[in-house]
Amino acid sequence: MIQSVLVANRGEIARRVFRTCRELGITGVAVHSDADARAAHTREADAAVRLPGDAPADTYLRGDLVVKAALAAGADAVHPGYGFLSENAEFARAVLDAGLTWIGPPPEAIEAMASKTRAKDLMARAGVPLLAAIDPRDATDGDLPLLVKAASGGGGRGMRIVRDLADLPGELAAASTEAASAFGDGEVFVEPYVERGRHVEVQVLADDHGAVRVLGTRDCSLQRRHQKVIEEAPAPGLPDHLRATLHEAAAEAARAIGYRGAGTVEFLVSGERAHFLEMNTRLQVEHPVTELVHGIDLVALQLRVAEGEPLDPEPPAPSGHAVEARLYAEDPARDWQPQTGVMHRLRLPETRHVRLDSGITDGDAISVHYDPLLAKVIAWAPTRAEAVRRLAYVLEHAHLHGPVTNRDLLVRSLRHPDFAAARLDTGFYDRHLADLNTPPDPSAEALSALAAALAEATAHAAGPTLPLRLGGWRNVISAPRTKSYRSEPSGTVHEIAYHHTRDGLRTDDPTTRLLHATPTAITLETDGIARTFDVTTHDRTHVDSPLGAFTFTPLPRFPDPTARTEPGSLLAPMPGTVIRVADVAVGDPVEAGQPLLWLEAMKMEHRITAPTAGTLTALHATPGTQVDVGTLLAVVTPNDEPQ
């Protein structure tokens, strides 16, 4: 039996595996980079081994160092999690060659599915339906649109949609470059792009005794940049015969490669036709929805299979519906720009049948070196409608104090009529993103800013011992006190006026009455309705109420007049590495929105575009340049300004 497991991963999945290990009485061993020395997964493990360095290429992707760490810590098994080395056949072989138990499929099965092109050939011979690849040299206008995909890896890296044949050569080259950087393999291929297809996957589980179990479907159609955002189980609205076809094809795919352990077979569903996309030879990020619907622990079953135990004769019957939302530190309104900083608080309201899988705890920093995923929030209920409603409520009422997140987008997505009616496809955000990114209600934001000012005034007036009502009362009406806040990330500035009176604080808004005030809670009555605003100050002020969550930066009374940026300056929005510069030179004319360079940060590629039409008058970045947030990258002088 397995006694000690090293998890060759970090963050949320490492914590997830450790949780099951503790329940089974198995010692958990972590590996960590220098950036993760105090990360939650490192702190929670029974033992932790340092991998010197920060970048994944120097740490979590070094299979030789991970194997040495397992041996040094006395582990007898390795769980790869997902991402990093989880689908690396050579790493699996190295683990086995070291005499350790590999909690995953045989290396040969990983190898068979490692290349999407080879996997499709194998699946075609096994009779699994799939989309035929297109030779880019033979592509015609009738084949459009096309999808360029990396043969190795996933997560949307090395993937491009082509709608004009003239763009195909450039997109092939760009996808190949990105794939080589991300996966060490620049091979790409081309297939038809299905405009309104659904991304449906099937969870499979196999043992060493010939059993292959199918554990239902998941729908993962809501994606940004070809990366999943909201997933659910079972996939809604599938006809019984199509669901049976998917189950049969997934089981046949697993048998064809002698699979063992937990894996996922992914399909593109168009109408009532299903096409094989790929097989992920590992645990999926979205596995919790399957666990909640089937009442199982997939990590525990992975361990059981790795110990040579047979699976139960029949898989547990599904019950109810589960929906998962991926909470990211990112700004969807700014091209999904990832965010860094300290997550001071991540807290959900206490609600039954809601699960939080997170890689962080309060006070942890979001690092530039890794994916900006903060947590997965999963809700279960007897019906889909109830599960969706429960998840939206929990997200809406969560206290998230730190960097900007995609929380509002998730709530609006879950409440969108198309999602509620299960009209799902991978183009959901292409069609609805602008509507989903609408600015917050101005009145709710203004009331929240008022609550922030009153809470601060209460704290200052009360002091350590004085009561609030002793706030400098005089016999004539004094000028109001004022406080200014900038709302984040909208930038709206709110100037709040209030008075200290003999009866305490009073707002200058005749429609709003202050009922109760403490430094952390303000109760306001508007239009006869009383609401309590929870106010928390870290580096910024966070206000949570039934009207929504708002973040404010207090502004100084006298701003620094030198704190300004020249017009047309392109500043790095986050720390990262310049990976590509457009074919432009200083002095060239540029158009508004024209890409000038590409920045890689937090496992994503970001275009830095010209803010206005004009002339490129400075360029301070070259490929390979490491930049910090706010670094000046280039300057575009607008056409109407002197150069």
Q: Per the structure block, which two tokens stand in for 441?
A: 């209600």
Q: Measured between alpha carbons, how far is 206 from 62 in angstroms, rounded to an integer?
A: 28
State whether the Cα torsion 456-461-465-468 is positive or negative: negative
CB of 179 within 8 A of CB of 157? yes
Q: Is 121 exposed, middle or buried (CB count within 10 Å of its CB: 0-12, 13-18, 19+)? A: middle
Nearest to 264 by CA among 278, 252, 243: 278
- In order, the DSSP letters of 369-386 are TS--EEEEEEEEESSHHH
Residue 137 bridge partners (DSSP): none
d(CA 376, CA 66): 26
Question: 282 an active-site residue?
Answer: yes
Q: What angle do CA 3, 4, 9 make, to 5 degrees?
A: 150
Asked if the peptide bond before residue 403 counts as cis, ω within 30 degrees of 0, the response is no
Q: Is 242 helix (H, G, I), strand (E, B) or coil?
A: helix
Contact 151, 115 (CB under 8 A): yes
CA–CA dist 399, 362 (Å, integer):
11
Which residue out of 15, 62, 157, 282 is catalytically annotated? 282
State the helix-helix crossing angle for 428-436 and 407-414, rounded to 10 degrees.
110
Whether 258 and 124 have beta carbons less than 8 Å apart is answered as no
Task: Kindly give the residue spans of alpha helices, DSSP state H, lying in 479-625.
Answer: none
CB contact at 8 A, 85 and 107: no
Residues annotated catalytic, as ranges:
282
